């Protein structure tokens, strides 16, 4: 589940976590109403109704408005409601939230274990841990900028003396590319195969 999708889901639950807004949507599902009518039906003040309607329109597009003379009439946007319902999380999508968090926490731990400041203490034997280190190293290079081998070695040696091994490993994982002695970091490296 991406950040944008997560934000939409949070906005949906926040907007519907209010009893007045839920009742308002219930009324608007059966008929159009003005702010004045909704205030009378729900026993709320008109500014409160306007506030809730604004939130439902702005955050989720769940309410549509049309003007009749000087009166604004509101109704439920059924298409938007259906779209939100289709995008409700499945157990797999919910689990992916935790997977992302667990992966990030694990990567932070690997970096903490293998680095002392910005100095790599040792190259991990585990391919999975090594990939975390290589991604960190690759991030030291600007995407799509050309680097001669001597400059690549100098940047890597700031972090570990075995520049040749780390340089070859980054190329092997597709985190760096080499052509005629010139290296560059691709803007969108391929997703590495799970190790």
Distance set, CA 112 to CA 12, 30, 106, 121, 143 (Å): 37, 58, 10, 10, 25
Q: Output Rg (C-alpha) for the chain, integer angstroms.
A: 27
pLDDT of residue 143: 87
- Residues 51-88: tens digit of each pLDDT: 999 989 988 889 999 999 999 999 999 998 888 777 77
Q: Is 52 helix (H, G, I), strand (E, B) or coil?
A: helix
Banded model confidence at residue 125, pLDDT cuts 50, 70, 90: very high
Q: What does the alpha-carbon distance between residue 27 and residue 37 come to, in Å, rounded to a whole number?
A: 10
Banded model confidence at residue 104, pLDDT cuts 50, 70, 90: confident
62-66, 169-173, 184-188: lowest mean pLDDT where? 184-188
CB-CB neighbours of 12 under 10 Å: 17
Q: In 16-128, where do the E strands start and end?
A: 33-34, 63-68, 71-76, 115-116, 119-120
Structural domains of the chain in order of their starting residue, each with its CATH number: 3-86 (1.10.10.10), 91-184 (no CATH)
Distance set, CA 19 to CA 23, 26, 51, 84 (Å): 6, 11, 14, 19
- With a CB cutoff of 8 Å and minimum separation 6, the contacts of 28 are 38, 63, 74, 75, 76
Eight-class DSSP state of 89: P
């Amino acid at each position: 589940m991406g950040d944008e999708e997560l934000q939409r889901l949070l906005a949906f639950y926040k907007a519907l976590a209010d009893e007045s807004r839920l009742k308002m949507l219930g009324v608007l599902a059966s008929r159009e109403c003005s702010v004045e009518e909704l205030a009378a039906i729900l026993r709320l003040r008109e500014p409160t109704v306007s506030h809730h309607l604004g939130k439902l329109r702005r955050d989720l597009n769940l309410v549509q408005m049309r003007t009749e003379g000087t009166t604004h009439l509101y109704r439920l946007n059924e298409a938007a409601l259906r779209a939100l319902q289709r995008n409700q999380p499945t157990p797999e999508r919910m689990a992916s939230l935790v997977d992302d968090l667990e992966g990030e926490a694990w990567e932070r731990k690997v970096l903490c274990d293998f680095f002392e400041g910005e100095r790599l203490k040792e190259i991990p034997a585990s391919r999975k841990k090594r990939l975390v280190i290589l991604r960190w190293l690759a991030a030291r290079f600007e995407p799509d900028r050309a680097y001669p081998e001597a400059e690549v070695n100098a940047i890597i040696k700031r972090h570990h003396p075995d520049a040749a091994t780390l340089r070859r490993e980054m190329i092997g994982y597709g985190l760096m590319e080499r052509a005629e002695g010139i290296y560059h970091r691709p803007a969108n490296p391929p997703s590495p195969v799970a190790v």
